[in-house]
Chains A and B, each alone.
Chain A
Amino acid sequence: MNRPIIEISNLVKRYEMGNEEVYALRDVSLTIGSNEYVAIMGPSGSGKSTLMNMLGCLDTPTAGTYFFNGQDVREMNDDDLAEIRNREIGFVFQTFNLLPRATALQNVELPLVYSGVGKAERQDRAKQALEKVQLSDRMTHRPNELSGGQRQRVAIARAIVTAPSIILADEPTGNLDTKTGHDIMALFRSLWEGGNTVILVTHEEDVARHARRIIRLRDGRIESDKVNPDA
């Protein structure tokens, strides 16, 4: 395995709902190296999104350890986590999560705004990212003027514009038709082939087939973690 980016051990995430305790993750240990292509699968409610949020430093675990690029995530404060999310992680969501009133270009520029890149360079890099997802001709369109597949491309451009260590995608094709879903998966594949580390969540076997490694969750535990024989 290449240099590890993600090392988690005995990760637990517990939610308290009134008197009830819900364990979204029970005891998850996992190492993911650079330039891996991992699919996380499992039935609904098995903890996939919770795990992704944890990996993406959007959320913090109840117990267990998480080292990101060798740094202990538990020791980081809010701003450190924001910095990691900004520079090291590119997040792609099922619901795209674009700013509705900003143009495609502005949406892609946004992470660079928060890392303090000047306007000219910001636009340059955002344009390059949009080119990579073949959306150069839609830069000034707003999300509601774009199709679902195009929106997800914008979101992917936004995720890769900072050249992050990993790209996390939580059911990126969940809101897309099969054909568009395939296009998006092809895009992730090409990103991986270009040297990126890609981790994506899906419950479609069809989609997971692209990945090199498939991790299956059930009830907040890892059920299996295998190299994909089909890939």
Chain B
Amino acid sequence: MRKTSEIGESLRIAVESLRMNLLRSILTTAGIVVGVVLVVVMGWTIGGLDAVWEQTISIIGKDMIYIDKWSWSGGGNWRLMEARKDITLRQAELLSQRMESAESVMPVVRLWSGSVVRGNTSLRCGILGTTTEYGKTSSAELNSGRFFTSIEDYQSAKVVILGEGVAKSLFSGEDPIGQSIKIISEPYRIIGVIKKRGFLFMDFVDNQVVIPLESFRSTVGMFERSVSIGIKTGSERMVDIVRTEAIGHMRSIRNVEPGQDNDFSINEMQAFDEQVKNIRIGIWTVGMGLTILAFVVGSIGIMNIMYVSVTERTREIGIRKAIGARRGSILLQFLIESSFLCVIGALIAFPIAQLIVGAARFVAVDLLDQAWASVVSPVIPVDLLMIAISVSVVIGLLAGLLPALKASRLDPVEALRYEQ
């Protein structure tokens, strides 16, 4: 009860002294403003990065493991990988037969650039041959139509599922389903279109077409092509178990001697997590460094102004003490005032941060890809604002502590005698 009335009084004083010294107070909060802007923009950037990464990871699927001759991440010895024997369709079949923990196993063969023609329009894009199981992976979520069946594969049916980019380029708005295109001069009937998944540097995934493996064999050919083996684990939790099992089988299928390194690479989206983590840490370190600097400068400013305020109000403190304010009351009054100043700083910072975030997003969407628009938040999330406010309050309490202690310890008689 006593505390509530004192907090109310303290807030009244804080507002009053802010009004009295408006310009001075606002200038004092500059450091806090910069600090809060940095925190918020940094938080938003990391949030954006995470969202983009989530989206990227879902292109392939977190539950997918690919076994390839090459490592996707570009790590490892290039010459050594070059020297590896190709992975064959036969090996993919054997693995498929032996795997027990996986949901499905599918071979994937790729021609990175092949010609696709519709009437007078032609383009070059990736051509991908695989089995019907591929249709159940997140890489093949359809916008319309259907995926091919195992019978179509078996019969080497000339059916094709278009990537979103290809569909747009060739049909620009028309419904492609049922229409015909030529893939390396062979006519194919379009039965499905895959959802847009591509994103930033990953947007090649939309510029490919998917056909049955057997059709690929007849249209494109299998000569000197290493097969990529896709393994759908069924869930993220299963990835470790499935990977271990797959490595065991692959070593035995490819006759890798015990003690020797694998002669194939395991590719997972999870492997990139490490790199993303490093980027995050990079942003944090730089951002935090700048933020701490700004907050240190800011809190020195606040501390200074609070000392001035205590001196200016020595007599007022004397009066308050004479009529019964305890040390704690005076301490509270000045702590509330300094955190109030910092909160004002945060409130000034928010629109500035929002402007920066808005501009950054505008530039990013313009420069990179419209897909950003759907993933990266255009406004600063509320929890970030809450964090920023809490940080400001803490900074205010810390910066105000020494001046507030000084005020609370003033001798009432001397304070009353103080002349401005």
Determine which residue in B3, B9, B324, B328 has the highest number of CB atoms from chain A within 10 A of its CB, and name it.
B324
A59 to B322, CA, bound (A): 10
Known: A53-B413, A58-B322. A115 touches B2 (CB 8 A): yes
Partner of A85 from the list B2, B316, B323, B416 (CB cut-off 8 Å) is: B323
Instruction: Assess whether B320 is interfacial by the CB under 8 Å rule.
Output: yes
Q: How many residues of A contact B (CB 8 A)?
A: 30
* CB-based contact A116/B322 at 8 Å: no
Residue in chain A with minimal CB distance to B327: A78
Q: Which residues of A, 75-112, contact B by the 8 Å Cβ criterion?
A: 78-79, 82-83, 85-87, 91, 93, 97-99, 101, 110-112
Interface residues on B, range: 20 to 34
B-side interface mostly: helix
Known: A119-B5, A122-B5. A79 touches B324 (CB 8 A): no
* CB-based contact A97/B322 at 8 Å: yes
Interface readout for A181-212 with B: 1 if CB under 8 Å, 0 if not?
00000000000000000000000000000000
Residue in chain A with minimal CB distance to B8: A119
* CB-based contact B316/A59 at 8 Å: no
Instruction: Assess whether A146 is interfacial by the CB under 8 Å rule.
Output: no
Interface readout for B307-332 with A: 1 if CB under 8 Å, 0 if not?
00000000110111111111111000
Instruction: Assess whether B412 is interfacial by the CB under 8 Å rule.
Output: yes
A115 to B329, CA, bound (A): 11
* CB-based contact A111/B323 at 8 Å: yes
* CB-based contact B323/A83 at 8 Å: no
Partner of A110 from the list B3, B323, B413 (CB cut-off 8 Å) is: B323
A101 to B325, CA, bound (A): 18
* CB-based contact A114/B324 at 8 Å: yes
A122 to B12, CA, bound (A): 16
Interface readout for B5-20 with A: 1 if CB under 8 Å, 0 if not?
1101100000010001
Chain A residues, Cβ within 8 Å of B3? 116
Chain A residues, Cβ within 8 Å of B319? 97-99
A42 to B133, CA, bound (A): 108
Chain B residues, Cβ within 8 Å of A162? 324
Q: Which residues of B, 326-367, contact A by the 8 Å Cβ criterion?
A: 326-329
Known: A99-B319, A117-B5. A83 touches B326 (CB 8 A): yes
Instruction: Assess whether A113 is interfacial by the CB under 8 Å rule.
Output: yes
Chain A residues, Cβ within 8 Å of B325? 82, 86, 114
* CB-based contact B413/A58 at 8 Å: yes
A115 to B20, CA, bound (A): 27
The minimal Cβ–Cβ distance linking A160 to chain B, given in whole angstroms, is 12
Determine which residue in B1, B8, B321 has the highest number of CB atoms from chain A within 10 A of its CB, and name it.
B321
* CB-based contact A97/B5 at 8 Å: no
Chain B residues, Cβ within 8 Å of A53? 413
Known: A78-B326, A87-B324. A114 touches B6 (CB 8 A): yes
Residue in chain A with minimal CB distance to B329: A114
Chain A residues, Cβ within 8 Å of B1? 116, 118
Instruction: Assess whether A158 is interfacial by the CB under 8 Å rule.
Output: yes
Chain B residues, Cβ within 8 Å of A114? 2, 5-6, 320, 323-326, 329
A110 to B6, CA, bound (A): 10
Chain B residues, Cβ within 8 Å of A116? 1-6
* CB-based contact A82/B321 at 8 Å: yes
Residue in chain A with minimal CB distance to B408: A78
Chain A residues, Cβ within 8 Å of B412? 58-59
Chain B residues, Cβ within 8 Å of A87? 324
The minimal Cβ–Cβ distance linking B404 to chain A, given in whole angstroms, is 15
A101 to B313, CA, bound (A): 12
* CB-based contact A113/B413 at 8 Å: no
A86 to B323, CA, bound (A): 5
Residue in chain A with minimal CB distance to B411: A59
Q: Which residues of B, 120-151, contact A by the 8 Å Cβ criterion?
A: none
* CB-based contact A79/B322 at 8 Å: no
The minimal Cβ–Cβ distance linking B220 to chain A, given in whole angstroms, is 83
Q: Which residues of A, 114-131, contact B by the 8 Å Cβ criterion?
A: 114-119, 122
* CB-based contact B16/A101 at 8 Å: yes
A112 to B327, CA, bound (A): 16
* CB-based contact B8/A99 at 8 Å: no
* CB-based contact B16/A113 at 8 Å: no
Chain B residues, Cβ within 8 Å of A56? 322
Chain A residues, Cβ within 8 Å of B323? 85-86, 91, 110-111, 114, 158
Interface readout for A137-164 with B: 1 if CB under 8 Å, 0 if not?
0000000000000000000001000100
Chain A residues, Cβ within 8 Å of B6? 113-114, 116
* CB-based contact A97/B320 at 8 Å: no
* CB-based contact A115/B16 at 8 Å: no
A119 to B134, CA, bound (A): 72
Chain A residues, Cβ within 8 Å of B321? 58, 82, 85
* CB-based contact A99/B316 at 8 Å: yes
A110 to B3, CA, bound (A): 14
A53 to B416, CA, bound (A): 11
3 pairs of A and B residues whose beta carbons are closest in the complex? A86-B324, A116-B2, A82-B326
Given A56-B322, A93-B416, 18 more contacts at CB 8 Å? A58-B413, A59-B413, A83-B326, A85-B321, A85-B323, A91-B322, A91-B323, A97-B416, A110-B9, A110-B323, A111-B323, A114-B323, A116-B1, A116-B5, A116-B6, A117-B5, A122-B5, A158-B323
10 contacts between A and B (CB under 8 A): A83-B324, A91-B322, A97-B318, A97-B416, A98-B319, A101-B16, A110-B9, A113-B5, A114-B325, A119-B5
